[in-house]
Chain A
């Protein structure tokens, strides 16, 4: 019996859902023979009443989204946060640093009165979430692993070591040694350090490890030349919602 799977999205760029359709090395064929996609608004017309697994992309940034999310929770056995926005709030939370009125005014001017927005938050702030696929965008290999493990009856777990482990495994030269700065040492691995391998640094899109040594990381960053404000700014981009940047 293939599990009934649905995809939902809230405030997001839909990149994580899109990537799901482009699973590396797997045809859509294989995926649909393993799971029964009953609802996936972006690519399908169709609805269902109940789901075994509901993937949710996007964070909650409006009042009107909350009842819809709760409804999904009611109708799904397993809810999985798909991507950074759903998992930790993601980029959407950057606006939380501004008072909401000011943000709306900046963007909509006099017409701001037509729009409502609340501080962005990850979905676990609204409903209990069973599992998460972190990242901006997700690492589709990780999504596949989680799906396979659920099919096998395992309890999927995310790596609890920092990006540095995979960065070294990939044979990269450390960003700090190249004169840059990087959040890797406190950010959860599982992305294969793709950003560092592509010549850049870690922005922290997968969220913090379970027990990050944040004081030490801040010390490291200041040792390598950043001011405290710059350090906080670095964490803000994805990790506004966690204690860190607050």
Chain B
């Protein structure tokens, strides 16, 4: 048996910076480590002292890919803390906006970050030549999602119009109707996507772990519901800390979490495992086609679950747009009445459950903030997955081991730069 020394500095095709370390001598595994050397962002410190009108704007900048998720969680937390209720119109618009991000993020991940591995290339760029149709399809769908977000919030990356209490500008109904038409056409493209991902061979690896996601009796939850665990029961979002239990490790600027077991998983697979019965029909069919069945314990299937969720997001968007076209949208008055308080907002970012918790004084100034990021919640699980995986493949060539580990990390669709700043905050 030989030695294995793998050090991947800054894994590519993931958001943010992460390192993989494996050392084994004579078949004996000495060290497996998933490191997060990302710079601490210190958002909790930066949010303190800001007026609620600026909080979503700043919190959005935690992440460029899931800025809508952070914006939504931030707004929910602020509204819960300040005692602001939002209308049904706002909720529907927010769901639609969220779908746009889920769609875009999953497609980016599946096509640009993961698919290259399945085709044996370094990035999506060579695929432009070899699989032009595939790439063009992906780009078109992504652009449609971007366009939808533009219509609803002025811009997809760091949305503008969403404010505490609702929306500062309303979408053009004619353009929304056009997007609906485009989505219906795009559903056909989804069939092709499903076919594509059906054809790839997903690595086989299983490790049962705890799965945590939002659960809402009314629908497949993204921005509503309570915290559900595959092991334990359901917990209201206000009590999220009892679930997340954050702690620090020296080799990571991101905190880790654990609940019932030594680690838990969040994300598309967790959502699928917990809520698969609530998928829209075409999405459920896609799951069947892709061989995804609940409960699934193979982290490499997270990407497949994302494909299923993309179909669901497209279907859900059509449903929501139909509702908006029928009811029309109406301008709503600005928020004026607020009070001091403390509140939690929880959403299912593409990568998993996301919590924002804020405290405000009665001038509407934020006094404390805490954010628990999905990828944080996965770091521990990634570590455990690696510890379980590596011994089983230690006899393979070093390059294969390395690729398997990189693919494992990529499967989780980590959003590392978000994750590097959550932490403990003293709440008053």
Report A's interface with B, CB cutoff 8 A. Answer: 10-19, 21-22, 24, 27-29, 32, 37, 40-46, 61-62, 65, 90-92, 94-95, 98, 102-104, 106-109, 111, 114-115, 117, 136-137, 194-195, 197-200, 203, 233, 237
Contact = CB atoms under 8 A, between A and B. Distances in A.
8 contacts: A13-B417, A15-B158, A29-B128, A44-B12, A91-B58, A95-B45, A198-B155, A200-B163
Given A91-B58, A109-B423, A40 B41 contact: no
A242 B72 CA distance: 31
Contacts of A104: 40, 42
B53 to A, nearest CB: 9
Nearest to A197: B154
Contacts of B116: 44-45
Interface stretch (B136-144, B208-216, B280-288, B383-391): B136-144
A194 B160 contact: yes
Contacts of B45: 95, 98, 102-103, 106-107
A74 B48 CA distance: 39
B12 A45 contact: yes
A225 B136 CA distance: 51
A44 B11 CA distance: 10
A94 B48 CA distance: 10
A29 B123 contact: no
Interface string B114-157: 00100000111100100010011001001100100000011111
A100 to B, nearest CB: 9
* Pairs of residues from A and B, 3 with the lowest C-beta to C-beta distance, nearest first: A15-B64, A198-B154, A199-B168
B64 A199 contact: no
A13 B123 contact: no
Contacts of A32: 125, 128
A91 B46 contact: yes
Nearest to A90: B61
B65 interface: yes
A106 B163 CA distance: 27
B63 interface: yes
A106 B44 contact: yes
B276 interface: no
Contacts of A94: 46, 58
Contacts of B157: 15, 18-19, 137
B154 A199 contact: yes
Nearest to A29: B128
A194 B424 contact: no
A61 B39 contact: yes
